[in-house]
């Protein structure tokens, strides 16, 4: 024994004691309130908060021995449970239609919700003494009809192992717990709170409303918390909301505030501004906050009334939770309850030790330690309404409302049972009603009624009502204001678009900015951009990339871009599609009008040159240039200029065929005529060279034109038969335009016609170049050479330019090439001759033709 005491002295080992400091009047877990009645409802409430004080009882040298002393203090907000109980009992006893001639009373026990004391408390209750004696009772007669317990699952589930043996009905007033809904394991437990299956949907609706996609989750690690987390993650996934972290709170007190939010460096960064808290009234999180002394104020807290931070932490850190959004199960206001609170004082309830302590602690009322009561001189003065908000809330809490309904449920069930068994006992013996509580179960499990406020109460298994939530905003700025303002509602039973209602303008935020805080992993992608997930990160973390060409995104955070239809194109911002303008080389366009005017002007000029040649057909210069071939060439050039007109205007099947066929045939005639003129010059001079034995008169040059033209016409006929040109609508060549133009049909046939024309041109150029130095006074060979050089240069340039353009510009390039090449032939061959005929007629007389031959 000496060794044991020595070890204790050395280690300063604390030995627990459950005796209060002042056993006479101090609060303890054995304190109770009793109100007599014909029938009693037994109530077990957690009213006290517990603190520990070390009392030094022995000191020797440097060693001392201390015992931890448990000090119990009552919190006025929890005392509202007792007020709700009294309020319901007195209403029922005054109601002549409910339990007439029967008074309802109660036994109220203060409990400390620790595992070690729960079973002891249940045995003490059955014993009827302060000391727990198993299988023994001091109660002479039992008036007990039901037990009301709460608030968390732990006390009802554990006490039911003892009370269940006697089949006592247990009504819990805490939040709905899925563990207690197991009617096989807990057949005698009835939960007053409706099932909160829509809470997760309501919170996610709030996140979606404010576009919060990156939130932290702090949840109690029990079956209810795990069930809520599962529901919450399912709804978050549906609505593209991600959890930055999930912190499960163990039932053991093993966290501090720094450890709580140290799982990821990004959690304390600027991106996570919103924390979802799902915890019980006596959660570990409360201990963490109290131990930490401060919380980062630049956060938004979303929680439930079961963990109301406004009344759970010390006053001087409440400003850290300014702007908290609280989901509370909706219940109607009971106006008479606030009036009833005004009447509550120690004079009205002299045996209520808890109320006497509240008056002593918070209203400075003198207290008699002999009788454990307040003095009559002040006990009737004052009111709980005078207490500050963080001490006592005048509004009925969820738990108090469930206590109120639980008492009414017992009363209605007992009323129905007595009506059904009215003949069991005569009326005169009603004052000593004795019956087994188990007889109440058939009525209690199916009870449905409307309480005095008109709210429906249903304890049947199939009649659970959908929960409606009120959303409150906690205002505590300036510090100490402490208001909970209703800012919205959530009702899962309404249509989807009407379930969530919120007044944004009424909300006070706890962040630095007055605007709605932003809590996202990545900034939203504006319209015109699409989301690209970041590898290895949550879906809410993404990069923004612009849409591809002719694709749009007209919504924020688009997952993919939408391609515009063929008849539309994307605007510069790529936010919406614009109808494309129909375009073609029209006469009304400046370009089309200019080309048409050029074609007509050149045609008129060519006709004028033809008129000059016809008028001066007897002049030597006209005769020397082979009048017939000159007339053919001038007429073909007029047609070449005019064949460009079908390229202008709205295309149709006729113009598409005409423009290509006319171009190929007419230009073949023109080029073959130039070839004939070149051959004529060569024959005219080479046949007179001395030493020649015979003239080149075997084949007439005029036959070149029909032969070459016939070949081209055969190629055109093959083209028409194989794949004729047709009208084509091209919506992709030119941005913002739908181009109507003629499709060549067979590209091979087109290039064959163009290649044949190029072959003739190159042949003509070769012959002309060979004859360029012949002794010709009018330089006919040189003019033909230069004209064909210009012609070939135009069409060689045409090919790359034609393929590098799109839309109506492509058509304009072809028209311009036709006009330029025709103008080259006209200018190089006939302009010098017209100059001589009209300006220098003397140079074209026979005197100037000495030593020359004229070829007729």
State the pLDDT at residue 81.
Answer: 92
Residue 689 pLDDT more than 70?
no
Question: What pTM was estimated for this model as a whole?
Answer: 0.65
State the pLDDT at residue 370.
Answer: 53
Residue 124 pLDDT more than 80?
no
Please write the tens of the pLDDT for every residue from 576-606.
Answer: 898 888 888 888 888 889 999 999 999 999 9
pLDDT level of residue 204 (50, 70, 90 thresholds): very high
Residue 87 pLDDT more than 60?
yes
Residue 69 pLDDT more than 70?
no
Q: Which of 82-96, 511-525, 709-723 has the lowest mean pLDDT?
A: 511-525
Q: Which of 334-338, 381-385, 414-418, 757-761 has the lowest mean pLDDT?
A: 381-385
State the pLDDT at residue 1.
Answer: 39
The arithmetic mean of pLDDT across residues 750-767, rounded, is 86
Residue 60 pLDDT more than 60?
no
**Residue 117 vs residue 177, higher pLDDT:** 177
pLDDT level of residue 106 (50, 70, 90 thresholds): very high
Please write the tens of the pLDDT for every residue from 630-676.
Answer: 889 899 999 999 998 998 888 888 888 888 888 889 989 988 888 88
Q: Which of 374-388, 392-406, 410-424, 836-850 has the lowest mean pLDDT?
A: 836-850
**Residue 790: Cβ-neighbour burial (10 angstroms; 0-12, 13-18, 19+):** middle
What share of the chain in percent tops pLDDT 90? 17
Rounded to an integer, what distance in angstroms lies between the CA atom of residue 541 and that of residue 556?
15
Rounded to an integer, what distance in angstroms lies between the CA atom of residue 307 and that of residue 249?
13
Longest dimension (CA), the chain: 167
Rounded to an integer, what distance in angstroms lies between the CA atom of residue 437 and that of residue 407?
15
State the pLDDT at residue 207.
Answer: 93
State the pLDDT at residue 367.
Answer: 64
pLDDT level of residue 769 (50, 70, 90 thresholds): confident
The arithmetic mean of pLDDT across residues 459-477, rounded, is 76
CA separation, residue 818 to residues 533, 638, 719, 753, 810 (Å): 56, 12, 20, 14, 13
pLDDT level of residue 267 (50, 70, 90 thresholds): very low
For the chain, domains (ranges, CATH) are 2-193+334-344+383-458 (3.40.50.2300), 199-330+467-506 (3.40.50.2300), 529-579 (no CATH), 594-684+699-849 (1.20.1070.10)
State the pLDDT at residue 539.
Answer: 84
**Residue 122 vs residue 644, higher pLDDT:** 644
State the pLDDT at residue 379.
Answer: 66
For residue 401, how far is the Cα from the chain centroid?
Answer: 37
Rounded to an integer, what distance in angstroms lies between the CA atom of residue 534 and that of residue 242?
14
> What per-residue string of b and e applies to 577-587 under the rule 16 or more CB within 10 Å gives b?
beebeebbbee
pLDDT level of residue 98 (50, 70, 90 thresholds): very high
Q: Quote the tokens at residue 331.
A: 């219940």
CB 675 within 8 A of CB 769: no
CB 382 within 8 A of CB 345: yes
Please write the tens of the pLDDT for every residue from 268-282.
Answer: 455 688 889 887 765
Rounded to an integer, what distance in angstroms lies between the CA atom of residue 402 and that of residue 418?
24
Highest mean pLDDT among 54-63, 256-265, 491-500: 491-500
Rounded to an integer, what distance in angstroms lies between the CA atom of residue 394 and that of residue 341?
8
Rounded to an integer, what distance in angstroms lies between the CA atom of residue 358 and that of residue 360?
5
Please write the tens of the pLDDT for every residue from 536-552.
Answer: 788 888 899 999 988 99
State the pLDDT at residue 317.
Answer: 46
Q: Quote the tokens at residue 291.
A: 């131990």
pLDDT level of residue 117 (50, 70, 90 thresholds): low
State the pLDDT at residue 512.
Answer: 62
CA separation, residue 665 to residues 300, 661, 669 (Å): 83, 6, 6
């Amino acid at each position: 024994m000496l060794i044991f005491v020595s070890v204790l002295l050395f280690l300063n080992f604390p030995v627990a004691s459950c005796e209060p400091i002042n056993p006479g009047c101090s609060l303890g877990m054995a304190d109770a309130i009793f109100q007599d009645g014909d029938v009693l409802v037994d109530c077990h409430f957690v009213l006290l908060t517990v603190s520990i004080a070390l009392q030094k009882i022995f000191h020797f040298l440097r060693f001392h021995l201390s015992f931890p002393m448990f000090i119990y203090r009552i919190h006025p907000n929890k005392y509202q449970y007792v007020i709700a109980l009294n309020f319901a009992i007195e209403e029922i006893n005054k109601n002549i239609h409910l339990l007439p001639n029967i008074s309802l009373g109660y036994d109220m026990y203060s409990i400390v919700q620790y595992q070690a004391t729960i079973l002891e408390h249940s045995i003490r209750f059955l014993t009827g003494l302060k000391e727990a004696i198993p299988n023994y009772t001091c109660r002479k007669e039992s008036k007990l009809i039901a037990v009301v317990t709460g608030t968390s699952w732990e006390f009802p589930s554990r006490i039911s192992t003892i009370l269940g043996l006697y089949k006592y009905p247990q009504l819990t007033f805490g939040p709905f717990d899925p563990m207690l809904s197991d009617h096989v394991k807990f057949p005698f437990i009835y939960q007053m709170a409706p099932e909160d299956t829509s809470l997760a949907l309501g919170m996610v609706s709030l996140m979606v409303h404010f576009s919060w996609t990156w939130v932290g989750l702090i949840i109690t690690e029990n079956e209810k918390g795990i069930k809520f987390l599962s529901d919450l993650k399912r709804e978050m996934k549906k609505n593209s909301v991600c959890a930055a972290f999930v912190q499960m709170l163990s039932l053991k007190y093993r966290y501090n505030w720094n450890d709580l939010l140290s799982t990821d460096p990004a959690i304390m960064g600027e991106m996570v501004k919103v924390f979802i808290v799902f915890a019980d009234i006596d959660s570990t999180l409360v201990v963490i906050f109290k131990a930490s002394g401060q919380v980062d104020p630049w956060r938004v807290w979303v929680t439930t009334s079961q963990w109301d931070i406004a009344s759970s932490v010390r006053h001087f850190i409440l400003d850290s939770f300014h702007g908290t959004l609280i989901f509370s199960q909706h219940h109607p206001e009971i106006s008479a309850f606030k009036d009833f609170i005004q009447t509550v004082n120690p004079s009205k309830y002299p045996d209520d030790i808890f109320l006497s302590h509240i008056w002593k602690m918070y209203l400075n009322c003198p207290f008699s330690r002999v009788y454990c009561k307040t003095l009559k001189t002040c006990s009737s003065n004052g009111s709980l309404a005078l207490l500050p908000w963080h001490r006592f809330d005048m509004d009925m809490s969820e738990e108090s409302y469930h206590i109120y309904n639980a008492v009414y449920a017992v009363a209605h069930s007992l009323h129905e049972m007595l009506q059904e068994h009215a003949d069991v006992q005569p009326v005169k013996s009603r004052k000593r009603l004795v019956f087994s509580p188990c007889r109440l179960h058939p009525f209690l499990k199916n009870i449905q009624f409307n309480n005095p406020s008109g709210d429906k109460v249903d304890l049947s298994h199939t009649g659970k009502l959908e929960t409606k939530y009120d959303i409150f905003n906690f205002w505590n700025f300036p510090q100490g204001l402490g208001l909970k303002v209703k800012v919205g509602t959530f009702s899962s039973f309404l249509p989807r678009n009407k379930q969530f209602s919120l007044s944004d303008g009424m909300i006070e935020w706890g962040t630095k900015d007055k605007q709605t805080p932003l809590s996202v992993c990545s900034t939203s992608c504006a319209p015109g951009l699409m989301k690209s997930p970041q590898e290895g990160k949550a879906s809410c973390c993404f990069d923004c990339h612009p849409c591809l060409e002719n694709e749009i995104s007209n919504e924020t955070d688009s997952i993919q871009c939408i391609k515009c239809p063929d008849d539309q194109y994307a605007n510069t911002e790529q936010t919406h599609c614009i109808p494309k303008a129909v375009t073609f080389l029209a006469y009304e366009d400046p370009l089309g009008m200019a080309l048409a005017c050029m074609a007509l002007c050149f045609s008129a000029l060519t006709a004028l040159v033809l008129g000059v040649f016809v008028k001066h057909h007897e002049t030597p210069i006209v005769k020397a240039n082979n009048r017939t071939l000159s007339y053919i060439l001038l007429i073909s050039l007029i047609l070449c200029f005019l064949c460009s007109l079908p390229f202008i205007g709205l295309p149709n099947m006729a113009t598409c065929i005409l423009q290509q066929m006319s171009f190929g045939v007419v230009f073949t005639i023109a080029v073959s005529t130039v070839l004939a003129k070149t051959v004529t010059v060569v024959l005219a001079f080479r046949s007179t060279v001395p030493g020649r034995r015979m003239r080149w008169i075997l084949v007439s040059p005029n036959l070149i034109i029909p032969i070459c033209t016939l070949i081209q016409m055969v190629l055109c006929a093959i083209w028409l038969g194989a794949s004729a040109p047709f009208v084509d609508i091209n919506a992709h060549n030119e941005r913002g335009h739908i181009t109507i133009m003629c499709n060549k049909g067979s590209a091979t046939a087109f290039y064959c016609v163009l290649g044949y024309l190029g072959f003739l041109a190159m042949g003509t150029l070769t012959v002309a170049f060979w004859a360029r130095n012949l002794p010709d006074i009018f330089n006919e060979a040189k003019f033909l050479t230069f004209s064909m050089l210009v012609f070939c240069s135009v069409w060689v340039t045409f090919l790359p330019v034609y393929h590098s353009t799109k839309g109506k510009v492509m058509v304009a390039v072809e028209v311009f090439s036709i006009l330029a090449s025709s103008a080259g032939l006209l200018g190089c061959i006939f302009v010098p001759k017209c100059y001589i005929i009209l300006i220098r007629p003397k140079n074209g007389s026979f005197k100037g033709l000495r030593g020359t031959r004229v070829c007729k």
